[in-house]
């Protein structure tokens, strides 16, 4: 059942990311209803990530302590309720409150899913499993931008939130049936883990350059992704006059293409490792290549051509997909032991700090400069910093060694 469960976890990730981008598509209409400034919109778009980032390490500890089954159930119920309730929004404070509740519910998603993969898949299969799981982070926006656009047109933005929140509860039926109480990933502690590996202490993790390099690189990677998830629809509309449906389809192509690359790159990485290649070199090579491809997004700030802009918007995101499965697998390769949910929590904290900062900074820069050129150029700076962190800090010789 393990591959079926990974597919189901991918579907859960899709639902989670639809709920992250639905506000992006609804925001232009909410701006008309409430008259919020760009800075206020940026605060609302970033609110989810404030609590989500803060809870990643606690969520990792919770998954390791109580297992992923019970923590997933509680988290899923909270976030579906929060999504449905967002349709009741009448003030900025209410909206921020509902987005904070959404972040609370979704905090377990990545640590819990990665715990399942670590418990059930070897090094030679882990890239493919992670690729399928994390592809949901891109299939979610790809599907979400289209589905949300059609739901808004059919039922308005309030009806869209209600339909998504209630409809997603169906996912819990197969999850509770397939991930049983005696599943290794559902058990507390490191039971049923990867065998005889010895773990490293929290102090060793915190002192390791590998963790800090991964933390910085993850932040830079996700700064770009969350810019695309939160502001790309508004960028398409205000800079190029696209309709909601056009925004949805172009966003779907970019994120859908990235999802395909994620799965493919994870599978190719596994094949290379199975053939005897050094797993650190393989995973790191894909990671660096992905960051280099993503940096081409900056070129969109230097053109007025719609076709050129769309090419780089799509190419940069698809190219970044080379990194996704392999940089998650690289962390599991370099960090020994079974406390993977805690390690994932640390890595995902960086990811969602970017989610808290990127939308707010982008809104502020657009309001100050009157265009999206400055935010797009800043993305290039962050990607170069991420590239340097993986080249110089995420190295085998800096990996923590069990005492």
Residues 356-380: pLDDT tens digits?
788 888 888 988 898 888 999 999 9
| Structural domains counted in the chain | 1
pLDDT score at 294: 92
d(CA 181, CA 68): 10
Question: SS3 for 18?
Answer: helix
* Predicted local confidence at residue 188, as pLDDT: 61
Task: Measure the CA–CA gap between 266 and 134, rounded to whole angstroms.
Answer: 10
pLDDT of residue 246: 79
User: In whole angstroms, what is the distance from residue 287 CA to residue 324 CA?
Assistant: 7
188 lies in a domain?
no
- Per residue in 42-88, pLDDT (tens digit) is 888 888 888 888 888 888 788 877 888 888 999 999 999 999 999 99
| C-alpha distance across the termini of the chain, in Å | 35
- Residue 363: CATH number of its domain: 1.20.1250.20
Please enumerate in sequence order all residues whose Cβ is within 8 A of that of 258, keeping only pairs 6 or more positions apart, or say none.
138, 142, 317, 318, 320, 321, 324
Position 192 in a domain: no
Assess if residue 197 is contained within a domain. no
What is the model's pLDDT at position 336? 66
Per DSSP, 197 falls in state: P
Smallest Cα–Cα separation from 381: which of 363, 361, 395? Answer: 361
Q: Please tell me the distance from the alpha carbon of residue 165 to that of residue 87, in angstroms, as a whole number.
A: 10
The CA distances from residue 47 to 16, 178, 316, 403, in Å, are 15, 33, 26, 40
User: How far apart are the C-alpha atoms of 316 and 310, rounded to whole Å?
Assistant: 10
In a domain, 402, yes or no: no
Q: Say how many C-beta atoms besides its own lie within 10 A of residue 333's C-beta.
A: 21
pLDDT for residue 273: 92
Domain containing 296 equals 2-182+204-397
- In a domain, residue 56? The reply is yes
**For position 185, what pLDDT does the model report?**
63
| Residue spans of the chain under pLDDT 70 | 184-200, 336-341, 402-403
- Taken in order 335, 341, 346, 352, the sign of the CA dihedral is positive
Does a structural domain hold residue 78? yes
Contact 131, 262 (CB under 8 A): yes
Tens-place pLDDT, residues 247-268: 777 778 888 888 899 999 999 9
Q: Which of 114, 94, 106 is nearest to 51 (CA)?
A: 106
Torsion angle in degrees (nearest 10) through CA of 130, 132, 134, 140: -170
Assigned domain for 195 exists: no
Domain annotation covers residue 132 = yes
For residue 198, the model assigns a pLDDT of 55
Please report where in the chains the tokens 């800043």 appear, as a residue: 378
Cβ neighbours for 135, distance < 8 A, ≥ 6 positions apart: 10, 13, 259, 260, 262, 263, 324, 325
Q: What is the pLDDT of residue 63?
A: 81
Give the per-residue pLDDT at 219.
Answer: 94
From CA 85, how far away is CA 162, in angstroms rounded? 7
Q: How far apart are CA 255 and CA 314, in angstroms?
A: 8
pLDDT, residue 230, reads 78
Length of the chain: 403
Residue 284's nearest CA partner among 348, 328, 221, 321 is 328
């Amino acid at each position: 059942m393990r591959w079926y469960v990974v597919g189901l976890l991918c579907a859960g990730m899709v639902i989670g990311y639809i709920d992250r981008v639905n506000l992006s598509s609804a925001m232009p209409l909410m701006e008309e209803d409430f008259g919020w400034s760009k800075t206020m919109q940026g605060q609302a778009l970033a609110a989810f990530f404030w609590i989500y980032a803060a809870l990643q390490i606690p969520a990792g500890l919770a998954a390791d302590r109580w297992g992923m089954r019970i923590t997933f159930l509680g988290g899923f119920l909270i976030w579906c309720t929060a999504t449905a309730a967002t349709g009741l929004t009448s003030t900025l404070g209410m909206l921020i409150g509902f987005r904070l509740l959404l972040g609370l519910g979704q905090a377990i998603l990545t640590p819990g899913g990665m715990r399942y993969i670590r418990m059930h898949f070897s090094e030679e299969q882990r890239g493919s499993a992670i690729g399928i799981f994390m592809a949901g982070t891109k299939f979610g926006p790809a599907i979400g931008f289209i589905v949300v656009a059609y739901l808004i047109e059919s039922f308005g933005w309030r009806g869209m939130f209600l339909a998504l929140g209630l409809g997603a509860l169906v996912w819990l039926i197969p999850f509770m049936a397939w991930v049983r109480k005696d599943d290794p990933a559902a058990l507390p502690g490191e039971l049923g883990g990867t065998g005889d590996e010895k773990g490293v202490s929290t102090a060793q993790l915190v002192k390791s350059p590998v963790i800090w390099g991964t933390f910085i690189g993850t932040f830079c990677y996700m700064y770009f992704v969350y810019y695309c998830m939160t502001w790309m629809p508004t960028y398409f509309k205000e800079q190029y006059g696209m309709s909601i449906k056009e925004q949805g389809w172009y966003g779907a192509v970019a994120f859908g293409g990235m999802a395909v690359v994620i799965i493919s790159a994870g599978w190719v990485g596994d094949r290379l490792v199975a053939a005897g290649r050094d797993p650190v070199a393989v995973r790191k090579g894909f990671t660096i290549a992905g960051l280099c491809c993503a940096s081409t997004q900056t070129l969109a700030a230097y053109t007025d051509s719609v076709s050129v802009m769309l090419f780089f918007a799509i190419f940069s995101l698809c190219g970044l997909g080379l990194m996704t499965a392999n940089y998650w697998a690289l962390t599991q390769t370099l960090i020994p032991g079974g406390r993977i949910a805690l390690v994932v929590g640390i890595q995902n904290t960086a990811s969602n700090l970017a989610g808290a900062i990127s939308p707010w900074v982008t809104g502020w820069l657009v309001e100050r400069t009157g265009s999206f050129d400055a935010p797009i150029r800043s993305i290039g700076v962050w990607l170069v910093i991420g590239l340097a962190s993986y080249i110089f800090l995420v190295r085998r010789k800096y990996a923590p060694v069990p005492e």
